[in-house]
A = this chain, B = another copy of it.
Amino acid sequence: MGMGRPREFDAELALDQAMEVFWRHGYEGATIAQLTEAMGINPPSLYACFGNKEGLLKAALDRYTKLRNVWMDGVVAAPTARDVAERMLMGIAEKQTDPANPPGCLLVQGGVACGTGSENVPFELAARRAQNEDQLRDRFVRAKAEGDLKPTSDPAALARYVSAVSVGMGVMASSGSDCEALRQVATVAVQAVEAQSERR
């Protein structure tokens, strides 16, 4: 039995284009017509490869978080909890205003509220954000064990906090805030982590 005609487009390259459309217009705001045009393919190719619109989103999210996790590994490699927060938030200030991408964060712009039939999309995004929060929490647990964070500090709360700030920065970026404004937010935000750190 034959293996059939090979696909003529690069799935990962097409995903990058789809990712950008979802990023800019959100899940519901992105149309199949816009997606197929950006991906350079026709609807049947899209559906054969990704199942449906939601499947395409999940594939794009997988790709997004994969790239993001590589970056996060570098973030949590910072020597102290304070430096982790600073590296993360300062990096986010730059990444979310990078003109190479749509402003903000796909995990937020993708859709915080959706209509009937797409209710699980916001949860899908939330689950990906939770991964980053877990990574931060683990890092802060270590920082507490190392005596970097105070014994009274709450690593989970700190991780939630840093995650919340980055989400807020993402929304600000998508509505026009420039890198400098976001860096100011990051600078202030880091001081809360500093307050939970042992003096040195």
Interface residues of A (CB under 8 A from B): 23-26, 28-31, 34, 104, 108-116, 118, 122-123, 125-126, 129, 154, 156-158, 160-161, 163-169, 171-172, 174-177, 181, 184-185, 187-196
**What are 18 A-B pairs at a CB distance below 8 A?**
A25-B115, A28-B115, A31-B115, A113-B174, A123-B175, A129-B175, A157-B185, A157-B188, A160-B172, A160-B184, A161-B165, A163-B168, A163-B172, A164-B168, A168-B168, A168-B169, A191-B192, A191-B195
Contacts of A154 in B (CB 8 A): 184, 188
Shortest Cβ distance from A31 into B: residue: B115
User: In the complex, are the beta carbons of A108 and B187 less than 8 A apart?
Assistant: no
Looking at chain A's contact residues, is the secondary structure mostly helix, strand, loop, or mixed? helix
Of the candidates B25, B109, B123, B168, the one whose C-beta lies within 8 Å of that of A167 is B168
Bound CA–CA A92/B145 (angstroms): 32
Shortest distance between the CB of A178 and any CB in chain B (Å): 11
Of the candidates B112, B157, B192, B195, the one whose C-beta lies within 8 Å of that of A112 is B112
Interface-centre pick from A34, A108, A125, A161 (highest chain B CB count, 10 A): A161
